[in-house]
A = this chain, B = another copy of it.
Amino acid sequence: MNVRARQREVTRATLLRESRRLFAARGYGAVSLSEIVAAAGVTKGALYHLFESKAELFRAVLEQVQQEVARIVAETADAEDDPWTRFTAGCQAFLTASTAPDIQRIMLVDGPAVLGWNEWRAMDEAGSGSHLADVITELIDQGLIPPQPVAPLTHLLSGAMNEAALWLAASGDPEAHLPDTRAALARMLDALRLP
Contacts and interface: CB of A to CB of B under 8 A. Distances in A.
Interface in A154-182: 155-164, 166-167, 170-171, 177, 180-181
Interface of A: 27-29, 104-105, 108-110, 112-114, 116-118, 121, 146, 148-149, 151-153, 155-164, 166-167, 170-171, 177, 180-181, 183-185, 187-188, 191-192
Of A151, A159, A185, the most chain B CB neighbours within 10 A belong to: A159
Contact of A164 (B159, B183, B192): B159
Contacts of A118: 170
Given A29-B29, A177-B152, A185-B156, A166 B110 contact: no
A183 B148 contact: yes
Contacts of A149: 180, 184
Contact of A184 (B152, B180, B181, B188): B152
Nearest to A182: B152
Q: 3 closest pairs, A vs B, by CB?
A: A159-B163, A191-B191, A113-B113
